[in-house]
Amino acid sequence: MAAKRVRLPKRTARLIFDGEYEGIEVVMSLEFSIDVVLSFLRNGDESQERPAKTQKEQLTELKELGALGLISWNLEDDQGMAILANAAGLGRVSPAFASLLLTKWTEALVNPPAPLSATLPAGNTQVGPTLQMVCL
């Protein structure tokens, strides 16, 4: 009999903001495939003979990477409509907030304190318990 297949756990971080961004909560994935990591490492390797990336190219790559990790947030626009938690939504936030979000997410990726979030069962759209980070 074949062994039961098991899914890898999906770790997340809940970033909770205060100060200027008080009340904002963002859930980010702490999981990436090796292929995604290698792709971004290759794209960021400036030792290869090619022109240096423009600021626009660098920002586009950061936006794409951020969108891969973005699971949910509670942001809305000036009319009270939800801003979708995807690449297009990430493109609608201020550079200052995007920078802070990516900085705090990177900190969670590099130094995730235990315990991390619980595994989400198949089909479950509810975000489970997550690592809480307060952004000052």
Q: How far apart are CA 76 and CA 56, in angstroms?
A: 25
Record the pTM: 0.67
pLDDT in tens, 14-24: 999 989 999 99
The CA distance from 47 to 4, in Å, is 44
How do the domains of the chain map onto residue ranges? 12-36+55-117+128-135
How much of the chain exceeds pLDDT 90, in percent? 25
Which range has the top average pLDDT, 19-23, 36-40, 110-114?
19-23
* Average pLDDT score over residue span 46-51: 58
pLDDT higher than 80, residue 34: no
Nearest of 111, 93, 102, 12 to residue 58 by alpha carbon: 102
Give dist(CA 136, CA 27) in Å, integer: 17
What one-character-per-residue DSSP string does 4-59 give?
PP-PPP--EEEEEE-GGGTT-EEEEE----HHHHHHHHHHH-TTSSSPPPPHHHHH
Q: Which two tokens stand for residue 61?
A: 């790559």
Residue 54, Cβ density class (10 Å: 0-12 exposed, 13-18 middle, ≥19 buried) = exposed
Is the pLDDT reported for residue 116 higher than 60? no
More confident residue, 49 or 112: 112
